[in-house]
Structure 1
Amino acid sequence: MKKGIHPENYRPVVFKDMSNGDMFLTKSTAKTNDTVEFEGETYPVVKVEISSTSHPFYTGKSKLVDTAGRVDKFMSRYGKAAKK
């Protein structure tokens, strides 16, 4: 790796998937005040809502999120036309 091309705060950071608890270690400049113990060492932690271990594209499991019955409303209007 070339010297002097990375910022001063380029360091090992743990990213934690909050939906399933998986963690992985990589280098980053992301700012955080939280820390976590990972593989016997303490690292700064960045909490993310979704990662490759929980994203439907990578896991092959899709989730249908229904907000206020919008899917049911759509199906009642257009579901009959699609079945023909």
Structure 2
Amino acid sequence: MKKGIHPDYVECTVRCTCGNTWKTHSTKSELRVDLCDKCHPFYTGQQKLVDTGGRVQRFADKFGGAAAAQLKKAEEAKAARAAKAAEEAAAKKAAREAKAAEKAKRAAEYAKKAEAEAAKQAAEEPAAEEQTETAE
């Protein structure tokens, strides 16, 4: 090793954001870290959100609101489709009822015509029988 080009190798105090401290050796006398073996999710098994420099918040501001807006938009579209389907079903039901009413009206008219024709035929038959009897 060349003399005079390397930094001093001193005892270093490492401090974690969770409050854990320990001593090691480094070229700096003090280090600050975000995670250590006492608070890292891999070692603790607990979910932890590590936000270095507000990056998570910036991401949520940029894209988090968009996801919520997309979800809201999808729910509104679903509700609109459901309302449209209900409206179409009501229109189809009304059309079926109108068609059934028209059919019933035509059937009543046909029955009335058939009844009138039957009455006319019944009235003509005795008259025709009387004519045949008088002709004989």
**TM-score normalised by length of structure 1:** 0.49
Q: Which has the higher contact order (CA 8 A, sep 6+)?
A: 1
Structure 1 or 2: larger strand share? 1
Q: Which has the larger radius of gyration?
A: 2
